[in-house]
Amino acid sequence: MKITVCSTENSLYQDSFDIEGGNFNKAGIVSTRIKSILKQMGLPADVVRKCAIVSYESEINVVSYAKKGVINLTVNPETVLIEVVDEGPGIPNIDLAMQQGYSTADQKIREMGFGAGMGLCNIKNYSDIFHISSEVGKGAHLLMTINIKQ
Amino acid sequence: MNLETIVKEFGLEVRCAPENLKNNVTGGYTGDLLSDVIANSREGYIWITRQVHQNIVAVASLKEHAGIILINSCEPSRETLEKASQEKIPIMVSSLSAFELTGKIYNLLGKKD
């Protein structure tokens, strides 16, 4: 299940951010921070926008479904890598989970305007390369690559 | 066009961050599904919604919206107001429905831009 993130020797920036499952009060803090880091590094606005969408949706998924998770951010000269690893129930059927509109969210999550079955689709659509894997009962692993030079 | 013009034109009630009513409005987006708003709205947009919980502030902040307008006289929660004040994101309330308010703002932006 583990995907090895490419060598970090040339990376310009690397950091990890913890996400607390179930805590909607803090949802969005990590992605807002990632966005401001990338902006400060002077990455193109479109790249920052894609990374912000990808990290926000990933963060919301961890908050909504997992016990806890971590986002690893790596900025290389030509790519931004966003890796999300969570501890939680995992995803039994990834093909189904990737379908637009499919959601296992409960009423509470839906009332807040989350859980519309768009999150994973947004992540895929705004990534240049997208990998997802999961082990039921253990968690999910997402790895997104966003190209800096289009 | 700045937020202040929209506030005056449609009698919006400003609930927080009045210091940022000079924010320039470049367009707008109407929606209550946060993933939809995250994917399709842009920097400088005014966001029209009926969601009142604090996560709307994170979305608006991440997308650098000019401000948020709550429709149908919905009031922001206390946590939402606190966060929006910290992040300096103006939240305004309108008695109109999303349909009416969106149409009016759309026309106003089209006229003066």
Is the pLDDT at A8 greater than 90, yes or no?
A: no
Q: Is residue B87 part of a domain?
A: yes
Whether A136 maps to a domain, the answer reads yes
Please check whether residue A36 touches B, CB under 8 A.
Answer: no
Judge: A28–B35 Cβ closer than 8 Å, yes or no: no
In a domain? residue B112: no
Question: Does A118 reside within a domain?
Answer: yes
| A1 at interface of B, judged by CB pairs closer than 8 A | no
Q: Is residue A2 part of a domain?
A: no
> Residue B92: which domain range?
3-96
Is the per-residue pLDDT at B81 higher than 80? yes
Three-state SS for A145? strand
Is position A4 within any domain? no
Is residue B39, in this structure, part of any structural domain at all?
yes
Query: Chains A and B: how many Cβ contacts under 8 Å?
Result: 59
Task: Give chain A's mean pLDDT.
Answer: 93
Chain B residue at shortest CA distance from A29: B58
Cβ <8 Å between B36 and A28: no
B-chain residues within 8 Å CB-CB of A56? 38, 58-59, 62
CATH code of residue B13:
3.40.1390.20
Q: Is B77 on the interface with A (CB under 8 A)?
A: no
The model's confidence at residue A149, banded by pLDDT at 50, 70 and 90, is confident
- The CATH code of the domain that includes A136 is 3.30.565.10
pLDDT tens by residue, A46-84: 999 999 999 999 999 999 999 999 999 999 999 999 999
**How many distinct structural domains can be found in chain B?**
1
**Inside any domain, residue A18:** yes
Chain A residues 69-108 within an 8 A CB cutoff of chain B: none
pTM: 0.90
Would B103 be classed as within a structural domain? no
Closest chain B CA to residue A31: B62
- The answer to whether residue B82 is domain-embedded is yes
Is the confidence at residue A4, as pLDDT, over 80?
A: no
**Domain housing A39:** 14-147
